[in-house]
Every structure is written in structure tokens, then in C-alpha cells.
Structure 1
């Protein structure tokens, strides 16, 4: 494999290269980007960085970029820290597909690909550093990543700064676009995302609530962070869709994570006659609310939660939460009727292989992780010039591909750079084998996936 080392000038950026970075001695301010400990901001030109420090006595340090003739797909994966569990499916997909992508295929797949990854450490700074290392040290032509409310935007923003095509998935597209300060009228140039929307979550949850009848009174457990802010957003959020279906939302205000007390929420919900509770809480926070609600005599007939959904089994669920029959959104299961575009593997086959290889139960993000690499390989294979980052980004934008996560169509999204993933409704039930299991209870958005249980609600 041919490779070369190239240093580039500080202000200019040639195609697929990184700039020299100058390091100055002095006090540092808060920075969105660090390379080898040097805090940097975006330069005057796209794809350049300059140090975000003040002081005299500049010390110039050349940062070299590995320039190769191969096509490298770089992945930012949380392998350590609080999101490490979420990184398992992407790590598995990388290991599974590396040998296959290294061999030429048929048609547009005659090209070969090399996979490389870096650990985000479940931290935004670690994620930005991982992007820089993948581009500089591995010569990545595209970067992919999955999930993490703060980590994923850090990856995408770093790629936007450096002018590197990026593909991500794992949380609602409104959080991806508007949470990063995006504007559909002026779409991102380098970064693409596939997922569901907050409006889709609201629609699926409303369908679940309506099993109790129309016009429910719903208590909201929404935090003070970006998630809670977007859920409340009067234009792009969850709240307007739910309200338009005739439901009354009771929002006592946000809470800081991790929560220490929900007594105020419980009191407000009891006063309002809440019979349904919805949230985007962690498992620990939802368990705390559930316990305090029961102690205060509040027993919601149904709880819906859009966040505690990626860990079937594993035994790490707080006491009592599995028995709460929490309903949730479902975007991928072994029952979905999809196949990999790379080798024809079915969803059931992929889940079985994951469980056999890792010894752990399948996770919903498994399908998304595999699809990330399917789309990345497709875009590089169909780009007019895979060595040209502009051509690769254009190929991503015109992608319409049937994957193991379903049809991903970037030409028909709700806004530029977005492809939608359909949602159905699920519910956690106490299971015989692993403590709790995910059942499928509604399928209005994806009729080909048959429900395997009735929604369980309280009296």
C-alpha cells in the first residue's frame, strides 16, 4: 500500500489535507476542537484550524497527514466511558465487515475499503480528537459515528470544520440539525444523518396513549438539557405534535441529570390527574421517578420513554423498572424484513451472529451501525472520484439504498442531508430468559413488521 507524508501550510488547505497548526504559549479559552492537546478554532477558510490561545512566543508545530491511495472509512466509536455499551454494535460491525470490504466486489463495489476507528471516550473533546486523528493519521475519506447526545454533534461539527464527509445516526434528526444551529435553507455541506424525528416519536407515543382513549392527560419528564429543550420546542419538537392530536401535556419544568428527586413532578402530576407519563429519561432517573410516584400513590396507567430502549437484557436495569412495562419506540429488531446491501444478511441473521460472537443480546443500534458502513461504502463506491471529498459528499446526498436498517433515501428527507428511519411501538415486559424483553405492540408506520404482543396498561 502506497502512502506518503505531507505537511501543508497553515492558512491554506489542499484537497484531503490538514493544516499546520501553530501552538502558542499562553492562557487557553474554552475550545470546541483540540488536536494533540492544542485548542483550536476554525480558521478563516474552510478546512483550516488555528490555535485558540493568547500570548506571545509562537512555537510552530507541523501536523502531518497520512496521504494514501486506499479508501479509508473512519469510525468514531465510544469504547470507554459511559457510552461504551452503545459502541458495542458499531465495534462489532467494523470487525464483521472489515474483511469483506477489503475485497473487491461486483459492479460499483470493485473498489476496496479499509476500516479504521478511534475511541471517543464518550466525551465531546475525545470525539473531536478522534476525528482529527482519523483524518490526519489514517487518511479517512469519510467519518461515521453513532449516538451520544453531546458526542455525535461534536463529531459532525469537527467534520464540518475540516471539510470531511460524515455520516451519523442514533438520535432524532431535529436534534442533529437544529441542535447544531442548522438551517434547512442553508444545509450542512459535509455532514449527513439518518434517523427518525421528534414528530415521529410523538406520533408513535400518541398511538400508544390512545389505547386508553382520546385526549389523554400526559405528564412530561423532560430534562433541562438539549433533549428537553427540543422536546418542548413549539415548532420542531414533540409537544406540538402530541397537542395537535388532542392530548394535554403537563410539564412541571426540567430537571438536571442525574436526578435526585422527582417529588415536585409527582405532586404536579397528581394535581393534574395525569394517567400517562412520557419522558426521555435515563434508566436510573426513570426508576427513581417510578419509585417515588408509587410511594406517593401515583400509579400511571402507561409510561412511554424514548431513551431507555437500547439495552434488552444484560441485567443492568434498576430494580422495579422492568415491571413497569415501559413502552418505547422501536426502529430495528430481528423481525424487521430487511437485508444488508453488502452480503444479503437478514436482520435475524445479523442479530444471531452478534449474540453468538459477543455472548450478549442484540441491541437496536446494531442495525443502524451496520447500515452506517453500508451507506459509507456505497457512497465511496459510487462517487465520481472517491479521492475528492466534494464528490463523496455529493454521492452521500444522492444515496438511496436498501440496507439492513431499511431503505435510506437522502433524496427525500424532511430536510436536506437527512434520511428517515420508520418507527413502531414497543413495550418492555418481564421475560423468562433475561429479566425483561422488548415486545412489538404497534406497527402503523411499518405494517410489514407484525406485532407480537398486546399493549399492557394499568387499571
Structure 2
């Protein structure tokens, strides 16, 4: 496989090349091009795995930009293990398929000979990537997957965690802390919550975890049933929700299914007073696809330009990173931008802290013991809820008509994280219906 520099590639060309090659080796910003498979001790290889194509591609919209930013920030190299090091990044596309995620991770380990692997976006990526890393003794950190789906879905042992694999994101407790304060503020006539939860790793974690927490807080989940992803008709679920007279709605579907459901819900007269959704409506492209139906849908925001966080690599603020992304691509920021950026911050920090960054056991130990304040805020991998997991605290935001772009996010509730300023009032999702 040949190496392909990122500079000068637009996203379409980049993805086309990546698909053709099964991945793209991105090098050169830290001291010149070097052939793939180099065993040079001054080169540290990071593999990056994400769903750049397929139904989860919205999560990876900022990937190409982030990789270039990391290369630029480290163009002069850095010191680790007593000598100057250069970074090489090898990117792989899962095509939104967990089996493909397993395959490309094996490629990174066996063919590309990477020193560390990072990965992002839903358990369909994080779990198979982490499983391969754990089995092969490769240091690994992933993000954007509920910790329960990542930990329990991989058979994690309580109090032990894993040796080589770590995660930063949040879980059911944090979803509850984000959503329930917003539910209370809209004062529903009853405490029934319509819940669209498919039969997959992500949604089953919500069904078991968030469902129980809802009951503890006096709310009653109205489960629409464990349907299969890719469903085309949600009439039965909508009828169940209407019969319950639920004025609150939550969900964890794949994005295309939510688009289908939400349009059918409007057509069939299900208009909840407040929709607080997970896994979907995280990115501007999804709001644009729904058009006016996107108005005042609320979701969890773990990163935005309003978050008061800065880079450990070049000192940029969250707002500066978002603005740079817009200036470079002409596109709107997405919250995955901050998360993917932090994967590389954490990887570089682990290399720096290790006496020998080529020692996989030592680097993995540095990941498990890491405390870092970075583009994703304060992350402590020692604090739990399980070893090797760092928790973020998302805040509530709603989609509103934008000025520069068609839709923008307004932070409307910061109950779980007072460091993030509120930018507007919480409005009913069905306002104007």
C-alpha cells in the first residue's frame, strides 16, 4: 500500500482513495514522507478507524480535517522516550459495518504495524476495534459510544476493565442527567416517555440502563419494541406512543431510521411536547435532511464551540477549532470534531508519558492511568465507572434555524455541566404545530 499525503485532497477524493486501498496512510507533516511499514524507531504509527461511508458516515464528516490538523500541529515532531519522534497516521473506513471494522483493525495490526489504534463512533466501530486491540496487545482508545455498550457489550469484568483498551464518553447516568432536567422544565401532563429503541447493542444499553433510571425518577418508558435496524414502517410504534398519550419522546436508532420515523410520526399525528434524542440529530446534515421538522429537537452535546476547552497540541480553543473547520471546508462544525481531535491528543500524551513509546504494555498502562485536560475537557481514565473509562458530561441543546448555516445548535440546559454557558431558552418541540 502506498502512502498518500492529505494536503490537497478534497473529501471525495480522499474517501475514494481510501475505499480503493482499504485505507490511507497519512504522513509527512512531522518531518517528510516515509514509506509505509517503516520500522524506524523515530516514527510512531497511529491507526484510525471510523465509519467514513455508509449510514453512520455523519460521525466521520470531520475526519479528514482533524487528521490534517494533527499532522500540522506535530509537524516539528515531539519528544518521547528521550528522543524526537514523528507521527504517521493510517486511516481506515469501516463502511459502517462492524465486520469491516474488525477486518481493517487486523490490517492495521498485521500489515501496517501500528503502535496504537484510535477509533470513533458507535459500538459498531468501537467494540470490534477494541476487541481486536485487546486480543493482539495493541494500545487503544475509542470514543462516541455509551460506556455500558462498550464495556458490557465486550464482556468487561466489573472492577477490572481491560488491559489495552480504553474509552472516553459517557453513559446512561449522564444521558439521564442531561434529558430529565429538560423533561421537568416542559411540565408534561403525564410522565410517560415514548421510547424508540431498536434491537442493537446501543439501544439495548438504553433499554436496560436509561429505562431503569427513568423509572427511578418517576417516568414510565413506553417501549415501542425491539425492531430491526433498517425498518421502513413505524406505524405500530407510533400507534403505541399515541395510545399512551406520551408527551415526551426519546430514541436511539440509526440516523436513517430516525428520519423515516420522524416523518411518519408527523404524518400520523404523533407530536411530542419535547423530543430528547440520542445517537441521532447530533450533526447538521441530519437537521438539514429533516428540514422544518428538525426545529426544537433536543439532544446531548458533549462538545460545541461554546465549550470552554482548549487543545494540548497547539492551544486552540473549541471555538477556534470549529471556526477553522468551517473556514477550511465550508461546512458546519460537528461535535465529533472535538472527540476525534482528542483521540490523537490522548495518543500523543500516552507516547510522551511512556519511557519507551514503542513498549505497547507501557503505553497501554499510560492510557489506563491518564488524566488530561484537552479539547474534550477534563478526562480522568482512573475515575471510572470502570477502570480505563473517562466520563464526559453532556449538556442539552436544541436545533434552531441558523444564520450562516441552515440549522444551528442552541445550548438550552447546562444542569450537568455548568462550565458550558446557556445560549437560549428551552422551547417545546411541537411549538407551532
- TM-score tier, shorter chain, comes to 0.7 to 0.9
Give the CA deviation at 1:446. 1.5
- Secondary structure class of the residue paired with 1:229: helix
The change in CA–CA distance for 1:67 and 1:356 in structure 2 (over 3 A counts) is same
1 or 2 for the larger relative contact order (CA 8 Å, sep ≥6)? 2
The change in CA–CA distance for 1:360 and 1:108 in structure 2 (over 3 A counts) is farther
The change in CA–CA distance for 1:413 and 1:109 in structure 2 (over 3 A counts) is farther
Q: Does 1:210 align with 2:181?
A: no
- Secondary structure class of the residue paired with 1:374: helix
Give the CA deviation at 1:66. 5.6
Point out where structure 2 has 5 or more consecutive residues left out of the alignment.
1-20, 23-35
Q: 2:306 aligns with which of 312, 335, 351?
A: 335
Residue pairs, 1:111-190, within 5 angstroms: 111-122=84-95, 123-190=97-164
2: CA distance, partners of 1:225 / 1:444: 29
Conserved? CA contact 1:194–1:420, under 8 Å: yes
Q: Does 1:232 align with 2:218?
A: no
Give the CA deviation at 1:411. 1.4
- Partner of residue 72, structure 1: 45
2: CA distance, partners of 1:158 / 1:106: 29
2: CA distance, partners of 1:143 / 1:228: 26
The change in CA–CA distance for 1:428 and 1:107 in structure 2 (over 3 A counts) is same
1: CA distance, partners of 2:336 / 2:227: 27
The change in CA–CA distance for 1:448 and 1:65 in structure 2 (over 3 A counts) is closer
Q: 2:219 aligns with which of 247, 252, 255?
A: 247
Q: Does 1:367 align with 2:338?
A: yes
The change in CA–CA distance for 1:423 and 1:401 in structure 2 (over 3 A counts) is same
The change in CA–CA distance for 1:376 and 1:282 in structure 2 (over 3 A counts) is same
Conserved? CA contact 1:326–1:427, under 8 Å: yes
How many residue pairs end up in the alignment? 394
- Partner of residue 360, structure 2: 389
- Partner of residue 66, structure 2: 93
Give the CA deviation at 1:444. 1.4
- Partner of residue 374, structure 2: 403
2: CA distance, partners of 1:110 / 1:350: 29
2: CA distance, partners of 1:78 / 1:282: 13
Larger radius of gyration: 1
Conserved? CA contact 2:47–2:117, under 8 Å: yes
- Secondary structure class of the residue paired with 1:387: coil
1: CA distance, partners of 2:227 / 2:71: 43
2: CA distance, partners of 1:456 / 1:394: 46
Q: Does 1:446 align with 2:393?
A: no
Q: 2:397 aligns with which of 426, 433, 436?
A: 426
- Partner of residue 307, structure 1: 279
Give the CA deviation at 1:232. 1.4
- Secondary structure class of the residue paired with 1:372: helix
- Secondary structure class of the residue paired with 1:321: helix
The change in CA–CA distance for 1:398 and 1:283 in structure 2 (over 3 A counts) is closer
Conserved? CA contact 2:80–2:355, under 8 Å: no
Residue deviations 1:370-418, cap 9 Å, x none? 1110010000110122121111111111111110110111111211110
Residue deviations 1:106-140, cap 9 Å, x none? 79896423122232332223322322332334331
- Secondary structure class of the residue paired with 2:284: coil
The change in CA–CA distance for 1:179 and 1:359 in structure 2 (over 3 A counts) is same
The change in CA–CA distance for 1:250 and 1:412 in structure 2 (over 3 A counts) is same
- Partner of residue 287, structure 1: 259
Conserved? CA contact 2:354–2:362, under 8 Å: yes
Conserved? CA contact 2:80–2:352, under 8 Å: no
2: CA distance, partners of 1:109 / 1:345: 27
- Partner of residue 415, structure 1: 386
- Partner of residue 326, structure 2: 355
Conserved? CA contact 2:298–2:399, under 8 Å: yes
2: CA distance, partners of 1:135 / 1:428: 40
The change in CA–CA distance for 1:103 and 1:184 in structure 2 (over 3 A counts) is farther
Give the CA deviation at 1:65. 7.2
- Partner of residue 260, structure 1: 232
Give the CA deviation at 1:314. 7.5
Q: 2:168 aligns with which of 188, 194, 198?
A: 194
Moved over 4 A (4+): 105-110, 313-316
2: CA distance, partners of 1:229 / 1:334: 31
Q: Which has the higher helix share?
A: 2
The change in CA–CA distance for 1:110 and 1:77 in structure 2 (over 3 A counts) is farther
Give the CA deviation at 1:143. 0.5
137-146 vs 161-170, which deviates more? 137-146
The change in CA–CA distance for 1:249 and 1:358 in structure 2 (over 3 A counts) is same
- Partner of residue 298, structure 1: 270
2: CA distance, partners of 1:79 / 1:262: 28
